[in-house]
Amino acid sequence: MFIGHFAPAFIAAAAFSRGPKLGTYFIAAQLVDWAFFTLAIVGVEKMRIVPGITAMNPLDLYFMPYTHSLAGTAAWALGFGIVIALWHRDSLAGLLGALVVASHWLLDWLTHRPDLTFAGAGEAYGLGLWNFPEIAIPLELGITLFAFAFYMRRSRGPAAQPVLLLAVLLVMQAVNWFGPEPGAANVFFYLQALVAFAIPTALAVWVGRNRYFTQRGGLAAASL
Asked whether the beta carbons of 140 and 3 are under 8 A apart, the reply is yes
Q: For residue 78, how many other CB atoms are within 10 A of its CB?
A: 14
pLDDT tens for residues 104-146? 999 999 999 999 999 999 999 999 999 999 999 999 999 999 9
Q: How many CA atoms lie within 13 A of 161 on its CB side?
A: 20
Give CA separation, 106 vs 24, 25, 112, 113, 203, in Å.
Answer: 20, 17, 10, 13, 25
Q: How many domains does the chain have?
A: 1
Per-residue pLDDT at 220 exceeds 90: no
Cα–Cα distance measured from residue 85 to residue 97, given in angstroms and rounded to the nearest whole number: 9
As a whole-number percent, the residues of the chain with pLDDT over 70 amount to 95
**Angle, helix 22-29 to helix 31-41, in steps of 10 degrees:** 50
The range of the structural domain enclosing residue 22 comes to 3-222
Q: What are phi and psi of 79, to 5 degrees?
A: -60, -45
Task: Check residue 214 and give its pLDDT.
Answer: 66
pTM comes to 0.94
What's the mean pLDDT in 167-191? 96
Partner residues linked to 54 by β-bridges? none
Asked whether the beta carbons of 155 and 213 are under 8 A apart, the reply is yes
Phi-psi region of 89 (alpha: psi -120 to 50; beta: other; left: phi over 0): left
Nearest CA among 10, 217, 204, 224 for reference residue 103: 10
- Confidence label for 17 from pLDDT (cuts 50, 70 and 90): confident
Task: Check residue 46 and give its pLDDT.
Answer: 98
Nearest CA among 25, 7, 19 for reference residue 166: 7
Buried/exposed code over 23-57 (b: 16+ C-beta within 10 A; e: otherwise): bbbbbbbbbbbbbbbbbbbeeebebebeeebbebb
Please spell the DSSP secondary structure of 62-103, one letter per residue: EE-TTTSSHHHHHHHHHHHHHHHHHHHT-HHHHHHHHHHHHH
Nearest CA among 195, 193, 158 for reference residue 45: 193
